[in-house]
Structure 1
Amino acid sequence: MAAASICRNLRLRLIPSKRIPHSSLISTSAPAFSTLPLRDQEEIGRWTWSKLFLFIPGAITFGLGTWQIFRRHDKNTDSLEFRKVQCKGVFDEKKSIYVGPRSRSISGVTETGYYVITPLIPVPGDPESIQSPILVNRGWVPRSWRDKALNSLEDEPQNSSAPTSTEESPTTSWWRFGSVKHKDLEAEHVPSVIPVEVIGVIRGSEKPSNFVPSNDPNAAQWFYVDVPALADACGLPERTLYIEEINEHVNPRSPYPIQKDHNMLIQTSRMPQDHLNYVLTWYSLSAAVTIMAIQRVKPRRSRR
């Protein structure tokens, strides 16, 4: 009553307050450190994993972009690869190596053959010739071509080991001087080895799949191009240059070997500039999907 009289004298109006039940004075709320129900925990866990999955595409595309950087670096290191060159020399046919088998479709018919790789050696006394031997992939040849070449190499030692009589009988000694002179005239007219002009593209060793057998140089079994091993088999240095001849000047009278087309060779290969374009593409895609993921998980502001 005293409070009411004081408020009346001061002209103040009391606002009636709600009565709080006595039972509500006893707190029944859970303590601050109490855990959420199991169902709520599972929902929060699923939401956390779903947020993490949103960032996986960005991580994958970022990794692909980084891998393209390493691929570009590898090709820039070996800057001579895929360069077009012109070489002059003489083919050492006896050291030809056949790599295969390789299938080729000719007029709709699939035929099995091989790549023939032959050392190109310098021409003595020719300043325009190559200065060191190189390996040339001359193109694709059918199986019969390979079998014929191998058979001729097997028969050559037998023919060269045949005895030849060098003794002269008294009855033929009178024409000895004239005969030798005649042979010298024939030797002068024997055509020398004709140099060849080779136009090709510098390449490296092939990377075979797990299903390709290993090369066996001792058995003359070559299933893929291994430049150092091929050079060693031909008696050449390990870092011998290897080129693939291209068919810029096709001779219809001599269809084999069938060289690769220059345009197809470049189209089926990835140049360093192509890898740079891939880097920019993958990194841009990574940034885009990452930004989208951040916007998705970012808490939204409630509008009033």
Structure 2
Amino acid sequence: MSRWLSSGTNNSSSLIARHLRRNLSTTAAPPLSSLSNPQEKEKGTGWTRFLLFVPGAITFGLGTWQIFRRNDKINMLEYRQSKLGSEPIKCNAITCSKENLDALEFRRLVCEGVFDEEKSIYVGPRSRSISGVTENGYYVITPLMPIPNNPRSAQAPILVNRGWVPRSWKDKSSKHSVDDGQPIAIEPTSTDNRSSRWWFQSNKPDVQVVPDVIPTEVVGVVRGSEKPSVFVPANDPSSCQWFYVDVPAISSACGLPENTVYIEDTNDNVNPSNPYPLPKDPNTLIRSSVMPQDHLNYTITWYSLSAAVTFMAFKRLLPKKSRVR
């Protein structure tokens, strides 16, 4: 009996000793690495909080940028409107210099001359929608040549964008250009009606008779070269493929100086029986691919997105409510 009591006492004392050692080990001072972890965690949390607001700041900046773009577009359209509303000037009163042509852009110009149909160039294809039906065609650009001894005529050739024509016009022009390559036979002039008497003979020089030419008056707007997008192919003058208006290149292809004036016909007097070429509407010259209303829509979109992501960032940083046990 005494042995059993002594063994029980020893077992209980050993259990108490183990329990004390375990408590001492758990209450010991934590290592230095465990003390530094909360500081690093708090530092990382600060950077994370800052990054949460970056998308909101970027979208807010994009919305503000659209406001400046909208103001610039309004000023540009007002400038074009004022240019188109001014009185047209005579083509004889301008000089063909780059600085002068840049200042004259969107000014109306009145020219007289004769179209050189053989040098017409077709730019396209360009589509046109009529009553919901889309039809492909081209813009036809023809040199307007001066008329000799005509003070009202243009003094230098001018490139005129006469307007939109159907695809059949280009096919017909290509066929005629091939036929025109054949030589033309000229009959010799008969001299039987000349008198053989010496008193009727004279040494007058031959006078070249120029047939009467009816001048064509064109009222157009001075324009410059187009700026093609990355999706528009490059022009190929050797194969007569023109996808966008390049004034110096078209002038060289027509045998004209590179600083030739280029205008777009805006004549409203269209013959219903022969409507082609169909001139451009002056209102289309004022329009832009992105109008001020579009910039306003973009501004609202970016500001809405900025408000949404900023709200999500604040909601993410709010302290969570303690759960009730």
The one-letter code of the counterpart of 2:286 is I
Mapped pair 1:117 → 2:119: no
Mapped pair 1:80 → 2:100: no
> For the residues of structure 2 that align with 1:45 and 1:145, how far apart are their CA atoms?
67
Most deviating of 202-211 and 57-66: 57-66
Contact map agreement 1:90 1:121 (CA 8 A) in 2:
yes
Q: What is the TM-score when the length of structure 2 is the normalising length?
A: 0.60
Q: Which residue of 2 aligns with 1:89?
A: 113
> For the residues of structure 1 that align with 2:132 and 2:286, how far apart are their CA atoms?
24
Question: Matched residue of 1:147: which SS?
Answer: helix
State the identity %: 50
Q: Which residue, out of 46, 49, 62, partners 2:48?
A: 46
> For the residues of structure 1 that align with 2:261 and 2:287, how far apart are their CA atoms?
22
Query: Given the superposition, is the C-alpha separation of residues 125 and 167 from structure 1 closer, same or farther in structure 2, using an over 3 Å criterion?
Result: closer
Aligned-residue offset at 1:42: 3.6
Query: Given the superposition, is the C-alpha separation of residues 55 and 106 from structure 1 closer, same or farther in structure 2, using an over 3 Å criterion?
Result: closer
Mapped pair 1:142 → 2:166: yes
Mapped pair 1:209 → 2:233: no
Query: Given the superposition, is the C-alpha separation of residues 52 and 211 from structure 1 closer, same or farther in structure 2, using an over 3 Å criterion?
Result: closer
The one-letter code of the counterpart of 1:79 is A
Mapped pair 1:239 → 2:239: no
Q: Which residue of 2 aligns with 1:197?
A: 217
> For the residues of structure 2 that align with 1:234 and 1:105, how far apart are their CA atoms?
30
Aligned-residue offset at 1:29: 11
> For the residues of structure 2 that align with 1:62 and 1:146, how far apart are their CA atoms?
47
> For the residues of structure 2 that align with 1:194 and 1:42, how far apart are their CA atoms?
84
> For the residues of structure 2 that align with 1:228 and 1:66, how far apart are their CA atoms?
33
Q: Gaps (5+ residues) in structure 1?
A: 1-27, 178-186, 298-304
Aligned-residue offset at 1:145: 1.5
Aligned-residue offset at 1:86: 1.7
RMSD between aligned residues:
4.3
> For the residues of structure 1 that align with 2:61 and 2:231, how far apart are their CA atoms?
31
Contact map agreement 2:218 2:267 (CA 8 A) in 1:
no
Q: Which residue of 2 aligns with 1:127?
A: 151
Q: Which residue, out of 57, 60, 81, partners 2:59?
A: 57
Question: Matched residue of 1:145: which SS?
Answer: helix
Mapped pair 1:229 → 2:229: no
Q: Which residue of 1 aligns with 2:281?
A: 261
Contact map agreement 1:140 1:259 (CA 8 A) in 2:
yes
Question: Matched residue of 2:264: which SS?
Answer: strand
Contact map agreement 2:121 2:141 (CA 8 A) in 1:
yes
The one-letter code of the counterpart of 1:56 is I
> For the residues of structure 2 that align with 1:111 and 1:158, how far apart are their CA atoms?
34
Question: Matched residue of 2:38: which SS?
Answer: coil
Aligned-residue offset at 1:195: 1.1
Q: Which runs of 4+ in 1 moved over 6 A?
A: 28-31, 65-73
Q: What is the TM-score when the length of structure 1 is the normalising length?
A: 0.64
> For the residues of structure 1 that align with 2:132 and 2:70, how far apart are their CA atoms?
37
Aligned-residue offset at 1:48: 1.3
Query: Given the superposition, is the C-alpha separation of residues 147 and 67 from structure 1 closer, same or farther in structure 2, using an over 3 Å criterion?
Result: same
Contact map agreement 1:247 1:262 (CA 8 A) in 2:
no
Deviation track 1:46-76 (CA, whole Å, cap 9, x = no partner) reads 2111244443234334555677899889x99
Query: Given the superposition, is the C-alpha separation of residues 231 and 139 from structure 1 closer, same or farther in structure 2, using an over 3 Å criterion?
Result: same
Deviation track 1:149-186 (CA, whole Å, cap 9, x = no partner) reads 222222123152x3645577xxxx3x456xxxxxxxxx
> For the residues of structure 2 that align with 1:144 and 1:163, how far apart are their CA atoms?
32
Most deviating of 117-126 and 36-45: 36-45
> For the residues of structure 1 that align with 2:222 and 2:141, how far apart are their CA atoms?
13
